[in-house]
């Protein structure tokens, strides 16, 4: 009888370990699903926000390019300006007319059209599938690169807001050409 009592006491630790493991596994599954859902919504919102910003930039650049063919009264001088295709009419705003026009370089115009194609909300899939998510990430990366290329070719800088923590680094960040690449040596200090 003493041996049965001793074995049951020695087996308590193993029993409580397995019981705690099962409870923790069930609780972790619930908490993980909730945290994963919140993370997915935050990540999806951040990507959609970035796509929206890039789409807005592309629309403004396209309008600045198209404003060369439209006079201030809104009548066209031969061709109809478009926003990414023949089916979308140009936006006539005084704000775009107040901005410097983009020269008629075919490379810049082609890059603007490619950027519009990458971030066009009508062509983006909002499904929660692995293929749709990877397509969105690839298109966003491509659009970010295209935006940098267009900004550099137009001589514009990225006017994204800088947080207070990095505002002290703002001057040092723009000392070179702003690329941050290894070839950008203009921001290096000469040691004597």
Where exactly are the structural domains of the chain?
46-156
**Strand pairing partners for 89?**
82
Lowest mean pLDDT among 50-64, 104-118, 165-179: 165-179
Whether pTM exceeds 0.75: no
The token pair at 11 is: 């087996």
Contact at 8 Å (CB) between 76 and 106?
no
Query: Is the confidence at residue 130, as pLDDT, over 50?
Result: yes
pLDDT at 95: 59
The token pair at 186 is: 């203009």
Q: What are phi and psi of 89, to 5 degrees?
A: -75, 160
pLDDT at 47: 93
Type and span of the H or E element at 14: helix 12-66
**Per-residue pLDDT tens over the stretch 132-159:** 999 999 999 999 999 999 888 888 877 6
Residue 124: left (phi > 0), alpha (psi -120 to 50), or beta? beta
Enumerate residues 6+ apart whose C-beta is below 8 A from 153: 105, 107, 108, 111
d(CA 123, CA 59): 15
d(CA 120, CA 126): 12
DSSP 89: B
pLDDT at 140: 94
Contact at 8 Å (CB) between 54 and 108?
no
């Amino acid at each position: 009888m003493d041996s049965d009592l001793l074995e049951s006491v020695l087996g308590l630790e193993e029993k409580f370990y397995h019981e705690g493991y099962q409870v923790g596994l069930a609780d972790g599954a619930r908490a993980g699903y909730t945290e994963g859902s919140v993370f997915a919504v935050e990540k999806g919102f951040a990507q959609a926000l970035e796509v929206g910003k890039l789409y807005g930039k592309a629309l403004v650049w396209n309008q600045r390019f198209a404003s060369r063919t439209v006079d201030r009264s809104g009548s066209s001088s031969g061709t109809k300006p478009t926003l990414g295709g023949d089916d979308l009419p140009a936006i006539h705003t005084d704000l775009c007319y107040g901005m410097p026009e983009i020269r008629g370089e075919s490379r810049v115009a082609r890059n603007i059209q490619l950027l519009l194609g990458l971030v066009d909300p009508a062509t983006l899939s909002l499904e929660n599938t692995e293929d749709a998510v990877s397509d969105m990430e690839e298109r966003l990366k491509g659009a970010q690169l295209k935006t940098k290329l267009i900004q550099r070719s137009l001589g514009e800088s990225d006017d994204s807001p800088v947080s207070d923590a990095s505002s002290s680094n703002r001057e040092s960040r723009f000392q070179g050409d702003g690329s941050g690449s290894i070839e950008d040596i203009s921001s290096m200090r000469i040691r004597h």
